[in-house]
Amino acid sequence: MSSAVIDTAGLQQLVSTLIDRGYRVIGPTLSDNAIVLGELTSADELPVGWGVDVGPGHYRLRRRDDAAAFGHSAGPQSWKEFLHPPRQRLWSSDGVAQEDAPRYAFLGVRACDLAAIAVLNGVLGKGAHPDGGFVDRLARIFVVAVNCTEPGGLCFCASMGTGPEVGPGYDLALTERIDDEGRWYVVDVGSDVGTQVLAALPHREARGAEIDSARADVAEAAHHMGRSMPTGDLRELLIESRESPHWDEVASRCLTCGNCTMACPTCFCTSVDDVTDLTGEHAERWMNWASCFEFDFTFVHEGSVRQSGPSRYRHWITHKLGSWHDQFGSSGCVGCGRCIAWCPTGIDITEEMNLLATLAEHRDD
Amino acid sequence: MTDTATWPGPAHAAMTPVPYQVRSRVVENQDSSTLQLEPLRDPLQAPLPGEFMMMYAFGIGEVAISVSGVPSGSDSTITHTIRSVGAVSRALHDAEPGTVIGMRGPFGTNWGLREAVGRDLVIVAGGVGLAPLRPVVLGALAARDSYGSVTLIAGARSRDDFLFSEELAEWARDTSIAVHMTVDVPVQGWPGEVGFVTEPLRRLPLRPQNTTALLCGPEPMMQNGAIELLRKGLAASDIRVSLERNMQCGIGWCGHCQLGPLLLCRDGPVVGYDAAEPLLAVKEL
């Protein structure tokens, strides 16, 4: 199917159409001096005219000189919050009524984050014991992806092979265009439901030149990434670097706070907490987000396995970029840069990997 | 929690405890007891030797425990030996007959007894590590003709710390299995050996090409035992160890049990030493 064009009225209609079809529309919106993911009732709630400046340990809103609605890179949250909620009740001794999974429409999913959803599915949805809640929620989502034409300062999706052009998995994909005519979108359709939704919007067929120019801007974005991972086999590099003295150096800056794991769109770890009320007669089982940086994450009866900061940082980065391949057949990193922005001391995963690569080269000399 | 009527059915099936009731409880030593559990509803799949169950003490929590018994015939009971080391294991250890325990599983890899048919078995256990290996001994004795020589080396801190004392004495009398018992601290009249399990292992004549070794105990014990076996010419892949890490889900969701590339709830707990050796060699991996 060829591409279509919608204008801001079409975008407005997109939100209301999705709501009419029973979706809870989640998308970027301004709140607390950040662009967060929240439930939208109208396209007016998108952060029109707002961008962000990001750096290691740094995230600030800034006014754009245009009216882009998707002119910002990743915020503090990711879609994992909705597909793999921070707190879930798994069981209750009193019984729990089965609730239907919510039907979410995600508006504004970037290529990196679409890849992250696939990575999460590889962990929670494809094992011998799939997480039924996750699988149900994922099966019901409607994805409006957005191609990136303007990567942020911490973006490195190009070197992770996940962007800036959105891959498979979307229902509709938008490329935001701003010119003298105002703001409009090239729309690509990725599913039958996407076709149906587009049909309900005021739209026209895209002209060849419009498509070409949009595609060219997205392709060009790959050359404007703020960060990049070293080339070569990262998994092998991390195995070789297990005993590197560099871990002590990173740990001297790492607070082991776990922010990176919370902000990461693929970090999936949880703890299972069994609790009771005061009578002790009613028990519940909860699954809560956890972080491998927690001291007791690896607790066994003799104590924690990873007690030191260096070992915990080494574990996190090695899992993310290395052992994830062994466990789930892909990298755990999609290049969104959130872990860099939200690290209170600005530890940069790409910088650490580049340093390890340099150290390894020197070791080989 | 003894009334099963209020125990609800599965919502997240794989994470929902299934009620079992303690049928019998045997005190093994000062900190360990063996529970035989029978299902109050449809039984779970019978665990293979080496596999583990997630055991839930009502309202307190859940821990991963390898099975220590083998079901026979139509018997759908599951047997576990629990060492009391924390709040949950203490509650399980103390569970009297009639107590309802929530069970999930079985999960993980097994000892690979089927793959070892026709080979000699060397079974090395330290302390409570004998519990996951008991089903191996029972299985090998029940199908004695399927294996070559069968040797059990069991170590404990002292005479009174051995699990399954009566069975051990029985096995020691059984000529179809060679049993070596060794303690760290001997008392007067101790007829066995003194020292680490590596000592009897060092003296053991074995056919390296035709031997499968199964080890369970503290990690340094397994590492030193494996070193001895490698020295005797066993292939690392013919040495299997049962590893322990924090396990909260048992099904690959929670991420706590990672050891390098392994998710031990899925890729373990029983792991070939070819995979385990380089990982155990790294501190705090």
List chain B domain ranges.
Answer: 4-107, 120-280
Percent of chain A with pLDDT over 70: 98
User: Is A214 domain-assigned?
Assistant: yes
Say whether residue A308 is in contact with chain B using an 8 A CB cutoff.
yes
Residue B72 is predicted with a pLDDT of 66
CATH fit for domain B4-107, picks 1.10.10.10, 2.40.30.10, 2.40.400.10, 2.60.120.10: 2.40.30.10
Q: Are residues A161 and A245 in the same domain?
A: no
User: Is A229 domain-assigned?
Assistant: no
Q: Are residues A264 and A342 in the same domain?
A: yes
Q: pLDDT for A122-177, tens place per residue?
A: 999 999 999 999 999 999 999 999 999 999 999 999 999 999 999 999 999 999 99
For the full predicted model, state whether its pTM sits above 0.90: yes
Q: Are residues A149 and A9 in the same domain?
A: yes
Who has greater pLDDT, A325 or B187?
Answer: A325
Q: Are residues A212 and A306 in the same domain?
A: no
Interface test with B, best of A99, A100, A129, A275 (most B CBs within 10 A): A129
- Of A224, A255, A282, the domain-final residue: A224
ipTM > 0.90 (yes/no):
yes
Q: Write the CATH number of the domain with boundaries B120-280.
A: 3.40.50.80
The range of the structural domain enclosing residue A302 comes to 234-364
Q: Are residues A149 and A49 in the same domain?
A: yes
User: Is A73 domain-assigned?
Assistant: yes
C-alpha span between B82 and B160 (Å, rounded): 16
Statement: residue A237 has pLDDT above 70: yes
Residue A99 is predicted with a pLDDT of 74
Who has greater pLDDT, A31 or B75?
Answer: A31
Q: Are residues A273 and A148 in the same domain?
A: no
Residue B3 is predicted with a pLDDT of 41
CB contact under 8 A, B254 and A287: yes
Residue B73 is predicted with a pLDDT of 63
Q: pLDDT for A35-75, tens place per residue?
A: 999 999 999 999 999 999 999 999 999 999 999 999 999 99
Q: Which residues of chain B have pLDDT under 70?
A: 1-12, 72-73
Residue A1 is predicted with a pLDDT of 57
Q: pLDDT for A165-224, tens place per residue?
A: 999 999 999 999 999 989 999 999 999 999 999 999 999 999 999 999 999 999 999 999
Q: Are residues A119 and A257 in the same domain?
A: no
Q: Are residues A276 and A171 in the same domain?
A: no
Residue B8 is predicted with a pLDDT of 46
Interface test with B, best of A238, A274, A314 (most B CBs within 10 A): A274
Say whether residue A330 is in contact with chain B using an 8 A CB cutoff.
no
| Closest approach of B219 to chain A, Cα-based (Å) | 11
Residue A181 is predicted with a pLDDT of 86
Question: A159 and A122 in contact (C-beta within 8 Å)?
Answer: no
Question: B35 and B79 in contact (C-beta within 8 Å)?
Answer: yes
Q: Are residues A40 and A76 in the same domain?
A: yes
Of the CA atoms within 13 Å of residue B19, those in its CB half-sphere come to 17
CB contact under 8 A, B255 and A292: yes
Residue B240 is predicted with a pLDDT of 98
Give me the mean pLDDT over the A250-276 stretch.
97
Say whether residue A327 is in contact with chain B using an 8 A CB cutoff.
yes
| Closest approach of B212 to chain A, Cα-based (Å) | 26
Can you read off the two tokens belonging to residue B70? 């083998």
Provide the greatest CA pair distance for chain A.
Answer: 70
- Of A174, A199, A224, the domain-final residue: A224
| Closest approach of B206 to chain A, Cα-based (Å) | 34
Residue of A98, A270, A274 lying closest to B61 (CB–CB): A274
Contacts of B7 in chain A (CB under 8 A): 93
| Closest approach of A263 to chain B, Cα-based (Å) | 17
Q: Are residues A123 and A21 in the same domain?
A: yes
Q: Are residues A54 and A15 in the same domain?
A: yes
Residue labelled with tokens 């396995």:
A305
C-alpha span between A177 and B165 (Å, rounded): 78
- Number of domain units in chain A: 2
Can you read off the two tokens belonging to residue A295? 């001291």
Q: Are residues A205 and A257 in the same domain?
A: no
Statement: residue A31 has pLDDT above 50: yes
